[in-house]
Amino acid sequence: MIKLIKLSIFLCVMGICCVLAGCSKAQKRQIVDEQGNKIISFYTMQLKTDFSDFINGMISEFEQNNPKVKIKWIDQPADGFETKLMSMYSVGESPDVINLNTGMMLNLHDRNLLLNLNDYLTTKQRSMFVKSMIDEACTFNGNTAGLPWYISPAVTMINTEVFKKAGLDPTHAPMTLDELMDYCRIIREKTGLFGVMLPLAENGVFRTMILNEGIPLTNPEKTQAIFANERSAEVLRKYKNAYDKEWIPRESVTGKHRRAIDMFKNGKAAMLVNGPQFLRTIKTEAPDIYTSCSIGFTAPRLPNYTYGTETQAVCISAKTAHPKEALAFALWLCAPKNQLQFSHLVPVFPSTTEALADPYFADKGTTPEQMAIYIGAQEVAKGVPNVPTLPLDGKLCRAIDDMVRQVFLRNVPPEKALEQAQERWNRILASHKQKETGK
């Protein structure tokens, strides 16, 4: 019995010790190592699996050129990346250089957690980037929150076999909304397959559908939403008509972009509108579809816009102990030579004019990947990201997604749904403005 009591006490003490150890202040992140080298921590989003050699190569070359700086690279899965970052910031242990997409960059910038690069970048350094990429996608309220690292504009991947069966020209991707709807109808009627699956209620995708018709979302000051009008209602009506007649999949409203990739991969949809990097997945998982794949510009489109551009940026934490070294590393990542090397590994696009001018992007090629590179580079060179960067992007997207669901699933008249969404946007934008002025 005594032994049991002793064991019980021992377990209690051990438990308390473990808890106290957990509660004790976490060890501070090292900013200088024993040899006096400055340590820069570098966080990326899901790059280790495929690009470990490339990133490590860039790091070692940088360390050779900057002998007093050591880079500590940590790669995180995209799922939970922001949550992880939040917890690091909340305990004052943010990484120095962070790979962020536009939405996350905006979230951090709004809280003054990113270094304003205006104070550090020289005119020469700034001018190496495609102007709109640094000025539109990475600059908010006049502050440069990051450097554009790589870009993936959407292209249209076409299953030429299905197009031929439907009597359509596989070298011609639909250009206007009406043409796209027509293609979907013809493909459905002639083959029983779908023309395209566009995830209409995922992350505010419908904003793009509105912008593609030349309808602005907000006033130039980005303080007031102005998209609720007859032209937007007409766009909604056209998609709804196609949905009701099953020219586009029912899952367009409930499915996500992964489902769209699956449908294209399984030969159930004739087109896929997405970043060319997904061609890798198609190549490995559906080689037959890949070989019969042709690439076109994003449908539907306006001539002067870059469509569905996803900008990945490198940002520097406002709390970094080594801003100059961190910026030097961020600029090294964006160096034309490195961007070009990255583009050779996967069809993503450089943000610097020098890299974009490389003959690699001018080659029309014959393989789907090379065709996508040619078309994607043309989109990037045009340079205007079509979705304006707005604060509280997640909430704005939710309002747009809810609007789509109201129209498609609840049969709410498009005018009414647009009006409601616009009111929500204005409330969100006003609350952000109020917060900003109260700062």
Partner 1 sequence: MKNSLLKRKLKTTSIAYLFLAPAILIMAIFVMYPVLQGFWLSFYQCDPYSSEATFIGWDNYRQLIADPQFRITLCNSILYLIVVPIIIILSLGMAVLVEPLLPGVNFFRAAWYIPVVTTMVVVGVSFRFIFSEDDGLINEVLKYMGIIQQSIPWMTEKWLVLITVMVVTIWKGLGYYMVAFIAALRAVPIEQIEAAIVDGAKPWSIFRNVKLPNLWPTITLVAILSSIGALQAFDEIYVLTRGAVPEATTLVYYIYEMGFDASQSSYEYGYASAMAVVLFFIVLAFTALNLWTMRKGGWSND
Residues that bind partner 1 (CB under 8 A): 1, 4-5, 8-9, 11-12, 15-16, 19, 79-83, 85-86, 89-91, 103, 107-108, 111, 113, 194, 201, 203, 246, 249-251, 253-256, 263, 268, 392-395, 397-398, 402, 405, 408-410
Least distance from C-beta 290 to partner 1, angstroms? 21
Least distance from C-beta 60 to partner 1, angstroms? 32
- C-beta closer to partner 1: residue 102 or 232: 102
- C-beta closer to partner 1: residue 359 or 438: 438
Least distance from C-beta 365 to partner 1, angstroms? 33
Least distance from C-beta 411 to partner 1, angstroms? 11
Least distance from C-beta 259 to partner 1, angstroms? 9
- C-beta closer to partner 1: residue 48 or 250: 250
- C-beta closer to partner 1: residue 127 or 411: 411
- C-beta closer to partner 1: residue 247 or 374: 247
- C-beta closer to partner 1: residue 45 or 134: 45
Distance CA 146, CA 144 (A): 6
Least distance from C-beta 413 to partner 1, angstroms? 18
